Amino acid sequence: MGYTIAEKILLNHCDADHVEPGQVVMVRCEVVLANDVTGPLAFRQMEKMGTSEVFDRSKIVMVADHFAPAKDERSAILIKRLKEWSLEHGVAFYDQGRGGIEHNLIIQEGWVVPGSVIVGGDSHTCTHGALGAFSSGLGSTDIAYSLIFGEFWEAVPGTIQITVSGEKGRFVTGKDVILAVISQIGAGGGTDNVLEFVGPGTKSLSIDERLAISNLAIEAGSETGIFPADETTAAYLDGRTETKWEAVHSDPDASYSRQLKVDFDRLEPLVAKPHNPENVVPVSEVAGMPIHQVVVGNCANGTLTDLRQAAQMVQGKRVHERTRMIVVPATQKIYREAIEEGLVDTLVEAGASISTPTCGPCFGGHTGALAPGENSITTTNRNFKGRAGSPDACVYLANAFVAAAAAVAGEIVDPAGVIS
C-alpha cells in the first residue's frame, strides 16, 4: 500500500519505518513559529520544563502580529517579551514595520519549502501546505516542547483528497474552492485528517489563491491543506530560498479516508454566513444584506492578488456611505507593492482606510471591532460569534471581489452587478 503526501513527509521526519493513520510518532520540524500571543506563553511553559535552551536558533521565527501595533500596555509587554526573548536567543524576530502577518511573512521570506515540516503556535499554520509542506498549528505547551527538542508528537492523520477541475469563473477565487469544501464536509468533517488538493483545476491557482485554500483547512477541522509542489510552486520559490527541496507526491495506490470533487465550472462566488464557516451559500442568496464594515485582509486573503481584486472593484467608485472599508495588506512587502502598483491610491480615493499589516480586525483584537447589530463582510477565515467585536454583530466571509463589491453597494451583491 502506498503513502499519501502527508504520510511521506511525516515518514521522512520521524524514526518509524512505516506510518499509518492514528499511529503516534515524534516528528522533527524545520521551522518553529510563534507570535506575540503564543510565544510568551510558550516561554513560560519552557521555564517550567526547566530550560531556556533552544534546539536550533536558525529554525525559529517569532513574529509580532496579533496585537501589533500594541493596543494597550498589556499587549506592549507581550511584544516586548517576544522581542527580548528573540534577541537573547538569537532567533529571527519580525517587528511591526518589518514583517506582517506571520504566515504570509514566512512564506514570502523563503522559510517554507515543499516537503518540510512547519509547526506554529497558531491554528492557521495550516497555510504552509500551500507550498507542499506539512504544517501543523499547535498550542503554546507544544511549541515550548518544539523549541527545546525540535520535534512534536503527532497522531498521523488520514487524508481527504480533493480533485479540482474546470475553468474558474470571472469572480471565483481559491476562497470559493475551500468554502465549497467546508460546506461539503462541515466544520468538524476534516478532524484527524489533512486535505490534499490535486487535479487539473489546481493549475489555474496561483500561490496567493492556494494560501487561502490551505489557510481555511482548519475551518473544516483539518490539520493542514496540502498542494503537492508543481511548476507554480517552483516559480514562486525561485530566488526566494537557498534551501534545496524536492517535490513530494502521493503514491497512486495511497489510501484516502475520503475523496471529493470541486468543479470550477459549477462554482459561483460563495459566502459563509454567521456564525460558522460551514454555513455556505451562493452570494445571490444573501444579496441585499446591508453591510456596515468591509475588511480585506488577514492571512487567508490579504495578499497582493486580493488587494488587486479589491482595487479593481472600487476603481473610480466610492465606498457606500453606510459602510466602512478597511484594507490590511498582509505584509510590509505587499503593502509596498500595492503602493507601487497604485492600488493603495485607488483604495484610499474610494474611501477605504488602509492599515499597517496586523491581525487586528481579524480576531477582534483591535482596529476594526464591530458594534452590536452591525454586519461585516470580510475576506478573513472565521465568522464565529464575537470574533470581530460584539457577539451581537454578524460576520460574513467571502473572497475579495465579493467583499469589495459590498463596500461599493453598501450591501451584499453579486460582483458582476458592480463591474462587468
User: Which spans of this chain sit near ligand SF4 (rule: CB under 6 A)?
Assistant: 65-66, 101, 122, 124, 298-299, 359, 362-363, 381
The binder of other proteins chosen from 110, 221, 282, 410 (CB under 8 A): 221
Report if residue 195 touches other proteins, rule: CB under 8 A: no
Q: What is the distance between the terminal CA atoms of the chain, rounded to a whole angstrom? A: 50
We find the least distance from the C-beta atom of residue 420 to ligand SF4, in angstroms, to be 32
We find the least distance from the C-beta atom of residue 123 to other proteins, in angstroms, to be 4
Quote the CA–CA distance of 146 and 295 in Å, as a whole number: 34
Report if residue 95 touches other proteins, rule: CB under 8 A: no
Binding segment for other proteins (CB under 8 A), chosen from 36-44, 83-91, 97-105, 313-321, is: 36-44
Report if residue 373 touches other proteins, rule: CB under 8 A: no
Helix/strand/coil (H/E/C) assignment for every residue in the chain: CECCHHHHHHHHCCCCCCCCCCCEEEEECCEEEEECCHHHHHHHHHHHHCCCCCCCHHHEEEECCCCCCCCCHHHHHHHHHHHHHHHHHCCEEECCCCCECHHHHHHHCCCCCCCCEEEECCHHHHHHHHHCCEEEECCHHHHHHHHHHCEEEEECCEEEEEEEECCCCCCCCHHHHHHHHHHHHCCCCCCCEEEEEECHHHHHCCHHHHHHHHHHHHHHCCCCEECCCCHHHHHHHCCCCCCCCCCCCCCCCECCCEEEEEEHHHCCCEEECCCCCCCEEEHHHHCCCECCEEEECHHHHCCHHHHHHHHHHHCCCCCCCCCEEEECCCEHHHHHHHHHCCHHHHHHHHCCEECCCCCHHHCCCCCCCECCCCEEEECCCCCCCCCCECCCCEEEECCHHHHHHHHHHCECCCHHHCCC
Report if residue 215 touches other proteins, rule: CB under 8 A: no
Report if residue 48 touches other proteins, rule: CB under 8 A: yes
Report if residue 311 touches other proteins, rule: CB under 8 A: no
Quote the CA–CA distance of 116 and 27 in Å, as a whole number: 11
Q: Which is nearer to ligand SF4, 135 or 298 (CB)?
A: 298
- Please count the residues of this chain forming the interface with other proteins, following the rule CB under 8 A: 53
Cell numbers of 128, please? 504552509
The binder of other proteins chosen from 21, 69, 274, 386 (CB under 8 A): 386
Which residue is it, cell 461585516?
376
Q: Which is nearer to other proteins, 168 or 382 (CB)?
A: 382
Report if residue 368 touches other proteins, rule: CB under 8 A: no
Report if residue 155 touches other proteins, rule: CB under 8 A: yes
Q: Which is nearer to ligand SF4, 66 or 210 (CB)?
A: 66
Q: Which is nearer to other proteins, 317 or 387 (CB)?
A: 387
Q: Which is nearer to ligand SF4, 124 or 320 (CB)?
A: 124
Give which of other proteins, ligand SF4, none residue 298 binds (C-beta under 5 to 8 Å, depending on kind).
ligand SF4
Quote the CA–CA distance of 203 and 217 in Å, as a whole number: 19
We find the least distance from the C-beta atom of residue 362 to ligand SF4, in angstroms, to be 3
We find the least distance from the C-beta atom of residue 298 to ligand SF4, in angstroms, to be 4
The binder of other proteins chosen from 7, 30, 122, 196 (CB under 8 A): 122
Report if residue 44 touches other proteins, rule: CB under 8 A: yes
Q: Helix 400-409 and helix 304-314: axis angle, to 10°?
A: 30
Give which of ligand SF4, other proteins, none residue 288 binds (C-beta under 5 to 8 Å, depending on kind).
none
Give which of ligand SF4, other proteins, none residue 153 binds (C-beta under 5 to 8 Å, depending on kind).
other proteins
Q: What binding mask, one character per residue, do residues 135-154 give for other proteins by CB under 8 A, x or -?
A: --xxxxxx-xx--xx---x-
We find the least distance from the C-beta atom of residue 49 to other proteins, in angstroms, to be 4
What are the residues binding other proteins (CB under 8 A)? 22, 24, 37-38, 40-41, 44-45, 48-51, 66-67, 71-72, 74-75, 78, 121-123, 125, 137-142, 144-145, 148-149, 153, 155, 187-188, 191-192, 218, 221, 223, 276, 278, 363-365, 382, 384-387, 391
